[in-house]
Structure 1
Amino acid sequence: EWVPLSKAPKPIKDGVKQGRIPSRKMMYFKIGHVFEYTQTDAREKGIEVSDIFKRYHRDGGMENEQDIRDALTTLADARNVTLLDEPLDEIGTAKGCYYPELHAIALNPRNSSIEDISVLIHELAHAELHNQERNFERDQPLTAPEKEFQAEMVA
């Protein structure tokens, strides 16, 4: 019977450390309930994000913002990626999405302009790394967490 090492008696813990008793690593997930500011219409109503939430949201602007946006649009055009004016369906709190079957990207209309730039880079990474052609070339499909990790590392 497998027992968490934290709950095992001292002789068992010592045996595991010395390699006399086999062990294995297990990953567990627990359910967590989260309330997220972007699930509200506070931005649309002009309600400021509290100091607690400010670190989780990118607000403000950046130097040459329009130039960066234009460069990303040019990149999307060059890679034949369609930038949709709005998502095909409600995407909730997701900042954006890539539709591999359409080779298209949509951004959440509730994003701030600075969020749009970072999310567009993330979604362009999906378009390049996880399009249908690339997925077909792989011997083994990537998991959703692997795809998200790759896209986030690019962004």
Structure 2
Amino acid sequence: MDKQIRHRPNIKRQRGAVSIEYALLLMLGILPLLLVTFTGVMVFAAQQSLTLAASEGARAALRYGDVPARRNSACQASARSMQWLLNFSGEAPNCPAAAAAPIVVSDAYPCASDGTTRCMQVSVSYDYDRHPFIPGTGRLLGWTLGERMRSSAIVQLDNGN
């Protein structure tokens, strides 16, 4: 039995090796995986918010009124739906004009499907490269996103107005 003890490695020198291995695994394996997962979830939530904002803006454009009032109403409804993105980026839409990012509402134009009806398009966007949710991930996800995240919706206006 004494012979077996002599051939064992020195146990005192191995103390704490598992803790160091666990710390390295945590830092180099699990935390980057969680970072990528969280960023993906936030990008998905932002895209869903943009889609909702565009559709809510298009619905608001259906309210009766002249074209400038419809544009303003569509811009305000879109801004309410994507308010958390506007707050995070520090951008503010210009709803009376509604002609520049992050919210663009077109003038009424003849619809492509039927020239006798008029349509309006509501486009919303978010610049993830300038305002990433986690610092440093703008460059990391630049190859997948590449440009502003966008969503748009088109609504056919009533013929009475």
Do they superpose with TM above 0.5?
no
Q: TM-score w.r.t. structure 2 length?
A: 0.27
TM-score, length basis structure 1: 0.28
* Rg comparison, structure with higher value: 2
Q: Whose helix fraction is larger, Structure 1's or Structure 2's?
A: 2
- The higher-RCO structure (CA 8 Å, 6+ apart) is 2
